[in-house]
Structure 1
C-alpha cells in the first residue's frame, strides 16, 4: 500500500519519496508518522518516544492513481537501513523494512537512529569453579602489659628488745628495706602514655562550576526555536556547526517556519546568513532545488519571508537547465 524509494531530486540522500494509493490521501498536503515495531516507540523531534508525533505537512503530487510526497532529513536521517517500521500517511498504514538505498544526507547529524534486529552471537558459558574465601589473617599477638607487681608485704620481724647500739642499727636496716620495696612498686605501676587521637579534618564543600550557556545541552533546554536561535547567534565563535545543525533539524522536523527558512538559506547560494554561515560554519553550498523545497515548506508553515526568498529563487532557477532545478521549478514555483 505504501512504498518507499529514493527521491530522484536528491541523489545525495537525506530524502525519500513515499507513494500511497490516491484515494487514501485527501488534500494538497499530508502528514507522516513513523512507528518502530521493535522498540514500540514513535519517531519525534528528539528521537524515539512513546508519544505519537506527526511530521509535515508535505506537498502531495498525484500521478497515475498514486499520491506521492517527499520527506526530508528530519525523518530519513534518523532511520537505519532494514529497520522494521510502520509508516502512517493520511489514512494509510504499512509495515515496511526501510530500504538500503534510502540513505541519510552526507555529514548530517543524527538525532538517534534505530537499528534492525540482528541475531546475537552466543558464546559458551565457562563453568564456574567454587572458591572458598581466603581466611582473614589473624591479628598479631600483642604482648600483654605486665600487671603491676604488688608491693611485698613485710612480715613482722620479731626484734628482741634493743640492747644498746646493735638494736638501733638493726632497726635502720629494716626501714631501708621497706623504703626500697616501696620505690620499686611505684616505678612498676607508672601509667602507660596514651597517644592522642587526631580529630578528623572536614574538607570544604566543592564549589559548583557555572554551566556553559553555549553548550549543546544548554541551548536545547531553551524553549522554542526563536530563543534557541537568538542564543546560538550570541554564541558565534563558540558554538559548533554540528550544534547549530542539531537545533535547526529538530525545529524543522517540528514544522517551525523560521527553522525551515534558515535551512533554505544555507542551501541558497544567493542568500546569506552571515552569523550562521560565516561565523558558525553551517552551510551546504548552492543547491537551488533543495533550497526551494525548504522555502516552500516554510511558506506552508506561514512564513512571509520565505515567500519573498522563494520568489527570488524561482526567478533565478527559470534560466537554469539542470533537471533537478527544473523539477523544483515545476513543483514549487507555480509553473
Structure 2
C-alpha cells in the first residue's frame, strides 16, 4: 500500500493535510477517518484523545484513478505532533506511519462540530444592536442665591455679631495652650517609641554577623565562552555546515550540557542536514555509540530501532553514505520484532 501525507496547498496557513491512499475507495459520504496514537494508545475523538475508537469526518474526498485523496482539517492536524507514530484507518483500510514534520498546525475553527461526523455548522452571527445615544440634556442654570435677597442689616444685629465674635476669640485663646501641650506630649511619646525600638531590635541586628559574600562564579563557563564552546557560538557555526559544528561540539565535551547539544542537533535536522539526521539515528540505535556525544556530553536516548531506521532513511535521502550500512544493521534487528511500529518501519525502510 502506498500512502502519501503532505500539507494541503490550498491552506498555506496550516491546519489542513492531504492524504492519498493507493488502492482505497470512499465507502461513505462524508468519509470517516480514525486516528490512533501508537505511543499513547488512544484514539482521536471530537473532544480529544480517548480510549474508544472514533471517526472524524474528512473535509473532502476525491477518487483519482485507483487512489483515494482525502483532506483532513484542524480537528485532526492540530492534535498531532511531528514524528508521532500513528495508525490511520479509512473505510476498513488501515496503515501505520509517522506523522510528517512539514505539516503545521493551524488556527482553530470557530465552528460547532456534530459528534456524529456529519459536518460542521458555522456559528450564527450575533445581530448588531445599535443603541441610540440620548440627546444631551442642557445644564440647568442655577439661580444666584444672592439675587433678590439683598436686605439691609440692622445696626443692632451688627453689634450683636461683633460681641459674639469677641467671646469666641477669647474661648479660642484659652484652648490654644492646651492643644500645644498635647502636641508636645505626642511628639515626646513618638521619640521615646523610636528610641525603645532601636534599643530592643537595632542592637540585635548590629550583633548579628554579616552574611558571607557569595562565592565567585565558577570559571568553567568563562572558559567555555573563551573556547567557543557556549551554545550561542556553536549555533553560529551552523552557517559553516553541521559537520564543522559537530566536530567542535565533540571537542567541547562536558562544557556543553545535554540540552544544549540536543538543541544544536535538532537545528541541523530541521535544516535536513544529512550528518545531523545520521547522528539522530545513532542516538536511537543501541548498536552505534557516539562516544563524545553520548559518553562525555551525556546526550542519549533509549533504544528505538524503528525511529532510528526513519532517521537513517532520511539521512540517506539527504546524501549520507554512512547511514546506509547503519540502516541495514537496524533492518536486521527489525526482522526479529513483531510490534506495529517495527513492522511499519520495516515495510517503509527495509525493502
Question: Into which bin does the TM-score normalised by the smaller protein fall?
Answer: 0.3 to 0.5
Structure with larger Rg: 1
Higher RCO (CA < 8 A, seq sep 6+): 1
| TM-score, normalization by structure 2 | 0.41
| TM-score, normalization by structure 1 | 0.43
More helix by share: 2
